[in-house]
Structure 1
């Protein structure tokens, strides 16, 4: 137990700039350890009419949890409004669980499922999930100069092997994907899935693209990156009937316990995002542009297209180290700065995100300071660890969670 507490204390002294993490509000987080987390919360919001004391699923009855059902109804309506959806499914317990459920529920054995290759920014698990379900896995064509989908190359691939599903699982989303144009290339019955695990918060804040309005049939993603909730997932649908059939399939074998404590935390976060999401996202984008500009001034190279390094919350550092990107990442870890070293767009990069820094209330002043810290450690191995005290001091100055029910009023733009 002592070791775990020490690990938690170490984490508190870090600047967490990995693109796959965020910080929940105290309001949401308090329910993760509540006794309600030990109780099963079953079925869908539509199955609860607000009066029943029990829930009936296929002849199996269990006690209803009315307060959670009502919270879920509010959150589901808010999610549909934020994401332009007709139906929302909140029971999935992780992003990969959502991917497995979506492929299983909406395709058949032998169907061709296209996704993004990992070296182009796609998720490593999608191919394995599709093939384990008896589908054939294929990669869409990618243009590493434009940092986006190669529509002409996709058209040729689709002529050779017709897709039943195209799954856009992009993990380094610097720019919008051409959803509308891609949809026009697909067969009539092909399902287009936009996995927004990295950009779900941006979409909720109406500051990125709007996939369901642009032609995607399904919008899904985990809920702990730019969307600052628990490690869970949601799946949203343009067509209500498709969504209901999906939820029925999920009910019959793809989920049992939806992790009640995580459901409560997710619902609270959805309502926080409905109220404060636009302000949070605008500050996040401002911070990303500010950090990128300051890094370039410091001589750090970024992945760009036509001079633009991002329109999202992520930056990809492409040069500045004399050894390797993984060695530079390790130096940053030892300096209390957490990033990701990975291959993206077929080149070695450090992937950084500003979502958690923003959620903690940091603004442009801090981005300038952080850019200096990053540049120092990346370019000069002899400085490894020497900036750790500065990082600890900066982290200690921002203990709260902003843009939430904890501290709803904040103007990072003045910092």
Structure 2
């Protein structure tokens, strides 16, 4: 392939400022926010400059409905190469027989998995929303809760751990067509083998929603659901550190059903610039540097959990195996929603979440983004102290904000 053009002059740094200074100011303001506060939302991370370059590339111009070699539009020769590259990299990275990289989001991937395996009205067993289940796991506000009959399993209220005996009992009683394992806030490794055994016992499909841990799986820092699940749904951002998007992994026997569930059943044209960015991220995740990163993410989460515990906060399950942890700020005299506002004012950005207690909102935080910035256990210990200072004293936010600004400044997400 002979290339006669370059990107020089096509993507200059000031092109947006000249064309649309109002929007450029918004983007620069967001970069400043990300660079002067600590991003502790468990679902967020910083992509590499290479991923950003692919997202802003000429592939954004190309319409490519269908799959490589079978598109509904002409001129897809090169985007076909890009998609095949993303697919092959995903298959190798996760040890999967088949990968679909077209899903626009994690929710789109889950929708496609359901479309491939279920029919409206089928019974599905999934983690209940109050215990950390996702909206696509049966929320009445979501397509999942309207189209399928969801039965929720839970976690033990004392330990915070999944009650696998309850999973088995509910499966035997309700005989679901599918069982979903996965959570937005469960800090421990999921026992995929246990779920597989229950699914086999009742003749159910097993769907793993691995949106959160898939990056740790890529780096060898968490067990893989691929050998156990019929279909694995995931995102390509979060710990995986790619563009915002989704993907599905499965065996060859379900490949055609999964592909047809993505296109044409649930989506139209693929976003080829995003697929190219996914290929970049998969390539980055296959390196020793990413393996070291994934393990540091976990080490940082465990250090942060230990620090918060030392400050008197009730960390769910007593700690974490992953990139995220949840805790109840009530021991310091503040509820979850108020705590999030106080912490945000101090530059500590995170989420609230449901805890396995009636009507209790806790806090969920993750270490993926701050680890990308180069922070380690020492910084996590200090962040825990800052958390406690803000939660104990409503007037501490201004002082802590300056320390947060200094800390973030020492670890810029995109060094100049």
Same fold (TM over 0.5): yes
Give 2:268's aligned residue.
256
**Given the alignment, which residue of 91, 104, 127 partners 1:93?**
104
**Given the alignment, which residue of 63, 67, 88 partners 2:75?**
63
Count of residue pairs the alignment pairs up: 385
Give 1:273's aligned residue.
285
Worse overlay, 149-158 or 383-392:
149-158
1:107-256 correspondence runs (5 A): 107-127=118-138, 128-132=142-146, 134-186=147-199, 187=201, 189-213=203-227, 215-237=228-250, 239-256=251-268
What is the CA distance between 1:189 and its match in structure 2? 4.2
What is the CA distance between 1:401 and its match in structure 2? 5.8
Alignment of 1:300 with 2:313, yes or no, is yes
Give the 3-state SS of the residue equivalent to 1:385 in structure 2. helix
Distance 2:34 2:297 in 1: 21
**Given the alignment, which residue of 26, 50, 53 partners 1:30?**
53
Q: TM-score, length-normalised on structure 1?
A: 0.87
Distance 2:195 2:414 in 1: 38
Alignment of 1:43 with 2:66, yes or no, is yes
Give 1:311's aligned residue.
321
Worse overlay, 157-166 or 295-304:
295-304
Contact 1:17 1:339 in 2 (8 A): yes
| Structure 2, gaps ≥5 residues long | 1-21
Distance 2:326 2:171 in 1: 30
Distance 1:135 1:294 in 2: 42
Distance 2:229 2:182 in 1: 13
What is the CA distance between 1:294 and its match in structure 2? 2.2
Alignment of 1:330 with 2:341, yes or no, is yes
| Structure 1, gaps ≥5 residues long | 49-55, 407-415
Distance 1:36 1:147 in 2: 45
Give the 3-state SS of the residue equivalent to 2:265 in structure 1. coil
Query: Compared with structure 1, are the counterparts of its residues 33 and 147 closer, same or farther at alpha carbon in structure 2 (3 Å cutoff)?
Result: same
Distance 2:409 2:165 in 1: 50
Give 1:11's aligned residue.
34
Give 1:413's aligned residue.
none
Give the 3-state SS of the residue equivalent to 1:148 in structure 2. coil
What is the CA distance between 1:284 and its match in structure 2? 0.8
Give 1:352's aligned residue.
365
Distance 1:289 1:180 in 2: 25
Give 1:51's aligned residue.
none
Distance 1:388 1:111 in 2: 50
What is the CA distance between 1:141 and its match in structure 2? 4.3
Q: CA RMSD in A?
A: 2.1
Distance 1:6 1:183 in 2: 47
Q: TM-score, length-normalised on structure 2?
A: 0.87
**Given the alignment, which residue of 62, 81, 87 partners 1:76?**
87
Give 2:387's aligned residue.
374
Give the 3-state SS of the residue equivalent to 1:389 in structure 2. helix
Distance 1:242 1:159 in 2: 25
Contact 2:213 2:239 in 1 (8 A): yes
Distance 1:401 1:200 in 2: 24
Distance 2:385 2:163 in 1: 36
Distance 2:53 2:412 in 1: 16
Give 2:3's aligned residue.
none
Give the 3-state SS of the residue equivalent to 2:332 in structure 1. coil
Q: Whose helix proportion is higher, 1 or 2?
A: 2
What is the CA distance between 1:33 and its match in structure 2? 2.2
